[in-house]
Amino acid sequence: MSISTWPRICTCVLALCVSEFALVDTASAQSVRIPTLQKIRQYGAIYVGHREVSIPFSYYAGEEPVGYSKDICDKVVESIKLYLHDPSLKVVLVPVSATSRLMLLMTGVIDIECGSTTNTKIRQQSIAFGLTTFVSGVKALVRKDSGIEKIRDLDGKAVVTTAGTMSERLVKNVMAARKLTVRSKYGRNHQDSFTQVLKKESDAFVVDDATLAGLIANSAEGDKLKLLDENFGFEPYSIGMRKDDPEFKTVVDNSLRDMMKSGEMERLYNKWFMSPIPPNNANLQIPMSDTLKEAIRNPTDAGI
C-alpha cells in the first residue's frame, strides 16, 4: 500500500477514535501543541485532509483525489518542502467530511485541510485559515418540475443542507428575515443531499453554486434540476490549519500569495471552472467573480 493514500476504512476508524478520545487524552493534547513544522519534521510527513465528493474543489476521480483545492494544496506542500529543505517529505492523504474536518485539524490528525471550507469568525475560534482562494455564492438547487422559482417559494418546504456546513445557518437567517420557514433536513455529504432532491425526499438543496454546478454536470439526471437565481449569501473558502501557529501560517500564506501574484491561481481556476474536468469531462463554465478577482489582487484571510 502506498503511503500517499490510506484505505478509507482505516481513516474512518482513526477519525472515530480521535473524536472519542483525543480531547481527553493528555499525551494527545501535548502533541497537538507541537508546532506544525516541528511535527512534520518529526514524522517526515505532512498529513493533508481532503474531501471525497466536493466537486470541483476536492473529490475522487477514480482512486485519487483531485480538484481546485487539491491542486492549490499540492503547491503549498511543495513550498513546505522547500522551507524545510526536505524534498523527500512524504504526503499522506486523509479523507475528511464536513463534520470531521475541524476536529481532525484541532487534534493534529491532519496538518492542513483542502476542500471547500468557509472561513467564518466562529470557526476562527477553533482553527486558523489561509488567504481566501474562492468566494462562493450560496444557492438553492431544485427540480425543474417543483414550481419553485424564488427563495420565497421555499416557505414551508423541506430544505436539505449537508451536515457540518454553514448553509443551514444562512438558510435560517434569510428565511427568518423574510418571515418564512423551512423544514430542515441534513445530508451525510453533498452527494446524499443532492440525491434527496432527485428522489423528491427534499424540495431544495442549499450549498455553494460551484459545488451544485459540479453535481449537476456529473449527474445523468442533471437536466431535471436547476439553480435559483437568488443567493442566500457569499462565503470565502480557505485552507484550514491549526490555530496559534504563526510560522506555519506564514509559510502557507506566502505560498498562496506567490500563486496569486504569478497568475498560477487564475490558471488553476480556469482549469477547474472553465475547462472540462474529470470524470465526465464536464465544463462548469463559471467565470471568476469580481469578488474573487479582488481577493487575488488584495489577498485577505478575513472571515464572515
Residues 123-170 pLDDT 10s: 999 999 999 999 999 999 999 999 999 999 999 999 999 999 989 999
Distance CA 71, CA 270 (A): 12
For the cut 90, the answer to whether the pLDDT of residue 20 exceeds it is no
Where does CATH 3.40.190.10 sit in the chain?
A: 8-133+238-297, 137-234
Instruction: Give the pLDDT confidence of 185-241 residue by residue, as tens digits.
Output: 999 999 999 999 999 999 999 999 999 999 999 899 999 999 999 999 999 999 999
Q: Can you point out the beta strands (E) in 83-180? A: 90-95, 112-114, 127-129, 134-143, 158-162
Distance, C-alpha 220 to centroid of its chain: 24
pTM, rounded to two decimals: 0.83
Exposed/middle/buried for residue 39 (C-beta within 10 Å: 0-12, 13-18, 19+): buried
Distances (CA, A) of 225 to 208, 253, 276, 280: 15, 38, 20, 18
Distance CA 301, CA 274 (A): 25
Distance CA 117, CA 169 (A): 15
Instruction: Give the pLDDT confidence of 49-105 residue by residue, as tens digits.
Output: 999 999 999 999 999 999 999 999 999 999 999 999 999 999 999 999 999 999 999
Exposed/middle/buried for residue 180 (C-beta within 10 Å: 0-12, 13-18, 19+): middle
At the fourth CATH level, the homologous superfamily of domain 8-133+238-297 is Periplasmic binding protein-like II (3.40.190.10)
Beta carbons within 10 angstroms of residue 276's beta carbon: 11
pLDDT: which is higher, 151 or 4: 151
Of 5, 241, 7, 250, the residue nearest 109 (C-alpha): 241
Q: What is the pLDDT of residue 240?
A: 98
Q: What is the CATH number of domain 137-234?
A: 3.40.190.10
pLDDT: which is higher, 152 or 22: 152
Which 8-state DSSP code applies to residue 186? E
Q: What is the pLDDT of residue 33?
A: 79
